[in-house]
Chains A and B, each alone.
Chain A
Amino acid sequence: MAAKKSTKTAKPVMTDLKGQTLITLRTLKEKNPASLATYEKLGGYQQLKRLITDKVKAIDVINQVKVSGLRGRGGAGFPTGLKWSFMPRYFDGTKYLVCNTDEGEPGTFKDRDIIRYNPHQLIEGMAIAAYTLGAEVGYNYIHGEIWAEYEIFESALAEAREAGYIGKNLFGSNVNFDLYAVHGYGAYICGEETALIESIEGKKGQPRFKPPFPASYGVFGKPTNVNNTESYTSIPWILQHGGQAFADVGVAASGGSKLFSVSGHVEKPGNYEVNMGMPFTELLAMAGGVWKGRKLKAVIPGGPSTAVMHAEAILEATMDYNGLGKAGSSLGAGSMIVMDETTCMVKALKRLSYFFYEESCGQCTPCREGTGWVYRVIKRITDGEGKMEDLDLLADVSNNISGRTICALGDAAATPVLSFIKHFRPEFEYYIQHGKSMVDGK
Chain B
Amino acid sequence: MLKIEIDGKPVEVDHGTTIIDAADKLGVSIPRFCYHKKLSVAANCRMCLVEVEKFGKPLPACATPVAEGMKIFTKSKAAVEAQQSVMEFLLINHPLDCPICDQGGECDLQDIAVAYGTSGSRYTEEKRVVFNKNIGPLISTDMTRCIQCTRCVRFLKEVGGMQELGMVGRGEHAEITAYVDQSVNSELSGNIIDLCPVGALTNKPFRYSARSWELVRRPSIAPHDSLGSHIEVHVKDNKVMRVLPREKESINECWLSDRDRYSYEGLNSPDRLKVPMIKHHGEWQETDWKTALEYAAGQIKDITNEHGSDALGVLVSPNSTMEEGYLIKELANDMGCGNVDYRLRQTDFRLDGKRVGTPWMGCNIDDIEHLDRILLIGSNIRNEHPLLAQRFRKAVDNGAELNIISPLDNNPLMDIAHKIICTPNDMVNVLAQILKGMSKLQRLSLCLPPSLSELLEKIHVRPNTEVMAESLAGLGKTFNLIAPKVGIFLGNMALSAPRFTEMYSLAEAIGGVSGAKGGILPSAANSTGMHMMGVMPSATGMHARAMLEVPRKAYMLLNIEPELDCQHAALAREAMKKAECVVALTAYKSEALENADVLLPIAPFTETSGSFMSMEGRIQTFKAVVKPLGESRPAWKVIRVLANTLGLKGFDFESTDDVRTKMFEGEKPSTVARKKLNNNMKELVEIEVKIKSEGLQRIGEVPQYEADPIVRRSGPLQKTKYNIQRRARMNPEDLRMMGIVEGDAVLVKQDQGRAVLMVRSDAHVARGCVRVAASHKQTVGLGDLMGDIAIDKIPAEEQEAAKAQAMEAYS
Contact = CB atoms under 8 A, between A and B. Distances in A.
Contact of B125 (A358, A365, A380): A380
Interface string B113-130: 000000000110110100
A288 interface: no
A433 interface: no
A389 to B, nearest CB: 9
A357 interface: yes
Interface stretch (B84-92, B730-738, B771-779): B84-92
B173 interface: yes
A400 B122 CA distance: 13
Contacts of A169: none
Contacts of A357: 171-172
B171 A368 contact: yes
Given A209-B63, A371-B171, A362 B41 contact: no
A381 to B, nearest CB: 12
B152 to A, nearest CB: 15
Contacts of B171: 357-362, 367-368, 371-372
Interface string A173-200: 0000000000000010100000000000
Interface in A371-396: 371-373, 376-377, 380, 393
A405 B46 contact: yes
- Among A363, A377, A380, A393: residue with most chain B CB under 10 A: A363
Contact of B170 (A209, A359, A364, A366): A359
A10 interface: no
B170 A369 contact: no
B791 to A, nearest CB: 43
Nearest to A205: B170
Please classify how large the interface on chain B is, using the bins under 10, 10 to 19, 20 to 34, 35 or more: 35 or more
Contacts of B90: 365, 369
Could you tell me the dominant secondary structure of chain B's interface residues?
A: loop
- Among B42, B88, B167: residue with most chain A CB under 10 A: B88
Nearest to A409: B171
Given A204-B167, A358-B170, A359-B170, A370 B44 contact: no
B92 A369 contact: yes
Nearest to B173: A362
A369 B122 contact: no
Interface in A240-283: none
A371 B122 CA distance: 15
B89 A400 contact: yes
B59 to A, nearest CB: 10
Contacts, number: 95
Contact of B86 (A189, A360, A377, A404): A404
B571 interface: no
Contacts of A367: 171
Given A365-B147, A377-B125, A400 B170 contact: no
Interface string B348-382: 00000000000000000000000000000000000
A75 interface: no
Nearest to A188: B170
B774 to A, nearest CB: 41
Contacts of B58: 403-404
A406 interface: yes
B41 A209 contact: yes
Contacts of B122: 393
Contacts of B147: 365
Given A209-B63, A364-B43, A373-B92, A403 B57 contact: yes
Given A189-B170, A359-B170, A371-B171, A364 B125 contact: no
A400 B56 CA distance: 14
A362 B89 contact: no
Contacts of A189: 170
A76 to B, nearest CB: 15
A362 B123 contact: no
A364 to B, nearest CB: 4
Given A364-B44, A373-B123, A376-B125, A187 B170 contact: yes
A363 B125 contact: no
B409 to A, nearest CB: 27
Interface in B142-195: 147-148, 166-174
- Among B44, B90, B92, B168: residue with most chain A CB under 10 A: B44
B388 interface: no
- Among A365, A367, A403, A404: residue with most chain B CB under 10 A: A365
Contacts of B487: none
Nearest to B63: A209
Contact of A400 (B63, B85, B166): B85
Ranked 3 nearest A-B pairs via Cβ: A362-B174, A400-B85, A360-B171
15 contacts: A204-B166, A209-B43, A209-B60, A359-B171, A362-B172, A363-B42, A363-B167, A365-B89, A366-B85, A368-B89, A368-B174, A376-B125, A400-B88, A400-B89, A404-B85
Given A187-B170, A368-B174, A371-B172, 8 more contacts: A359-B170, A365-B89, A365-B148, A376-B126, A400-B85, A403-B58, A404-B86, A406-B44
